[in-house]
Structure 1
Amino acid sequence: MRKTCLLLLTLLLGAGAAHAQVDSVRASTLPPDQQAEKLYNSGLAKFNQKSYRAAVLDFDKALAAKPDFARAYSNRAAARYELKDYQPAVQDYDQAIKLDPNSFTPYFGRARAEEALQQPTEAELDYGRATERQADYAPAWYYRGALRFEKADYAAAKADFDAAIKADATYAYAWHDRGSAQRQLGSLSAAIQDYSQALKLQPDLLPALLNRAGTRRRAGDLKGAIQDYNNYLTKKQDNALAYTNRGAARYEQADYKGAAEDFTRAVTLDAGYAFAWNNRAAAYLKLEDYKKADADASQAISLNKEYAEAYLNRGHAREMLRQPDAACQDWHRAADLGLAVGLTHAANSGCP
Structure 2
Amino acid sequence: MGSATPPSKASKGGEYAVGKCPTPRTLSGCSDDTIERQEMPLAKRELVPVLILLALTLLCYSTSFHGQFVFDDQQVVLQNSQLMNIRTAGDVMSLGAGWRQLLLITYGLNYYWGGLDTFGYHALNVALHALNVLLVYWIILAAARDFGFRISDFGLGGEAGHRRFAALAGAAVFSVHTLFTSAVSYISGRSSVLCGTFYFGAILLFFKALAAPQRRTRCLYLLFAGAAGYLAWQTKQEAITLPLLLAGILFLRSGKKDWRWIALLAAVPAGLIVLARDQLASVYAAVYANKVLVSAGFEKVLPPAIYFPTYLTSVVRYYFPRLIFPVSLSADPQIAPIHHWYSPELLFSILVLSTLPWLALRFYRREPLFSVGVLALLVSPIAGYALIPLADVVLEHRAYIPGLGIAFLFGWAFQWIARSYYNARWLSLCALVTVFGVMTAVRNTVWANNIALWEDAEAKAPDKPRTHFNLGQAYQQAGRLPEAIREYEHALRLKPDIHAAYSNVAAIYLDQNQFERAEEILLKVTSVAPDFTEGFINLGVLYIRIQQPDKALPQLNRALAITPEAFAAHFNKGEALTQKGDFKAALESYKEAVHLRPDIDSFQLALGAAYSKAGDRASAAREFLGMTSGPLAAEAVRNLGILYRDVGETKRAMEFFHQAAKMRTVFPELHHDIGILYLQKRMTNEAIEQFRITLQEQPDYGPAFLNLAAAYQMKGEPQIAKQTLQAYVQQYGNTNSPYVARAKQTLERLE
Fold match (TM-score > 0.5): yes
Query: Which residue of the partner structure matches residue 646 of structure 2?
Result: 252
Query: Which residue of the partner structure matches residue 68 of structure 1?
Result: none
Query: Which residue of the partner structure matches residue 142 of structure 1?
Result: 537
1:247 deviates by: 1.7
Query: What is the rounded CA distance, in whole Å, between the counterparts of 1:205 and 1:80 in structure 2?
Result: 22
Change (3 A) 1:245 1:337: farther
**Structure 2 counterparts to residues 269-288 of structure 1, below 5 A:** 269-270=663-664, 273=668, 274-279=671-676, 281=678
Please tell me whether residue 112 in structure 1 is matched to residue 509 in structure 2.
Answer: no
Amino acid at match of 2:643: A
Change (3 A) 1:137 1:263: same
Can you list the C-alpha shifts for 1:151-180, whole angstroms capped at 9, x where unaligned? 333222211111111112222221111000
1:243 to 620, 626, 637: 637
**Contact 1:74/1:92 (8 A) holds in 2:** yes
**Contact 1:74/1:96 (8 A) holds in 2:** no
**Structure 2 counterparts to residues 129-208 of structure 1, below 5 A:** 129-208=524-603
Query: What is the rounded CA distance, in whole Å, between the counterparts of 2:536 and 2:707 in structure 1?
Result: 41
Can you list the C-alpha shifts for 1:258-287, whole angstroms capped at 9, x where unaligned? 11211221333345643244356468x59x
1:181 deviates by: 0.5
Query: Which residue of the partner structure matches residue 613 of structure 2?
Result: 218
Query: What is the rounded CA distance, in whole Å, between the counterparts of 1:135 and 1:44 in structure 2?
Result: 33
Amino acid at match of 1:89: Y
Can you list the C-alpha shifts for 1:190-241, whole angstroms capped at 9, x where unaligned? 11121122222233332222223323333333333333322333545642x4
Query: What is the rounded CA distance, in whole Å, between the counterparts of 1:177 and 1:192 in structure 2?
Result: 12
Calculate the aligned-residue CA RMSD, in Å: 4.1
Query: Which residue of the partner structure matches residue 27 of structure 1?
Result: none
Query: What is the rounded CA distance, in whole Å, between the counterparts of 1:94 and 1:114 in structure 2?
Result: 17
1:312 deviates by: 8.0
Query: What is the rounded CA distance, in whole Å, between the counterparts of 2:396 and 2:527 in structure 1?
Result: 27
Please tell me whether residue 57 in structure 1 is matched to residue 459 in structure 2.
Answer: yes
Query: Which residue of the partner structure matches residue 690 of structure 2?
Result: 300
Identity %: 14
**Contact 2:601/2:632 (8 A) holds in 1:** no
Q: Secondary structure at the match of 1:181?
A: helix
Query: What is the rounded CA distance, in whole Å, between the counterparts of 1:130 and 1:256 in structure 2?
Result: 49
> Which blocks of at least 5 consecutive residues in structure 2 are unaligned?
1-292, 294-300, 318-348, 360-391, 398-442, 476-482, 696-703, 723-751
**Contact 1:74/1:93 (8 A) holds in 2:** no
Change (3 A) 1:277 1:255: closer
1:77 deviates by: 4.2
**Structure 2 counterparts to residues 63-74 of structure 1, below 5 A:** 63=463, 72-74=464-466
Query: Which residue of the partner structure matches residue 322 of structure 1?
Result: none
Query: What is the rounded CA distance, in whole Å, between the counterparts of 1:278 and 1:59 in structure 2?
Result: 55
Can you list the C-alpha shifts for 1:73-106, whole angstroms capped at 9, x where unaligned? 3544443554525235314314412xxx5xxxx1
**Contact 2:556/2:573 (8 A) holds in 1:** yes
Query: Which residue of the partner structure matches residue 495 of structure 2?
Result: 96
1:254 deviates by: 3.2
**Contact 2:471/2:487 (8 A) holds in 1:** no
Change (3 A) 1:333 1:206: same
Q: Secondary structure at the match of 1:248?
A: helix
Amino acid at match of 1:278: G
Query: Which residue of the partner structure matches residue 332 of structure 1?
Result: 716
Change (3 A) 1:153 1:267: same
Please report the TM-score for the alignment, with normalisation by the length of structure 1: 0.61
Q: Which structure's relative contact order is higher, taking Cα pairs within 8 Å and 6+ residues apart?
A: 2
> Which blocks of at least 5 consecutive residues in structure 1 are unaligned?
16-39, 64-71, 287-292, 316-328, 339-352
Query: What is the rounded CA distance, in whole Å, between the counterparts of 1:153 and 1:310 in structure 2?
Result: 26
Amino acid at match of 2:715: W
1:257 deviates by: 2.6
Count residues with an aligned counterpart.
274
**Contact 1:178/1:191 (8 A) holds in 2:** yes
Query: What is the rounded CA distance, in whole Å, between the counterparts of 1:143 and 1:299 in structure 2?
Result: 38
Change (3 A) 1:157 1:94: farther
Query: What is the rounded CA distance, in whole Å, between the counterparts of 1:109 and 1:211 in structure 2?
Result: 29
Please tell me whether residue 268 in structure 1 is matched to residue 665 in structure 2.
Answer: no
1:185 deviates by: 1.7
1:87 to 476, 486, 490: 486
Q: Secondary structure at the match of 2:598?
A: coil
**Contact 1:222/1:249 (8 A) holds in 2:** yes
Query: What is the rounded CA distance, in whole Å, between the counterparts of 1:242 and 1:164 in structure 2?
Result: 30
Q: Secondary structure at the match of 1:337?
A: helix
Change (3 A) 1:81 1:41: farther
Query: What is the rounded CA distance, in whole Å, between the counterparts of 2:709 and 2:455 in structure 1?
Result: 57
Amino acid at match of 1:96: K
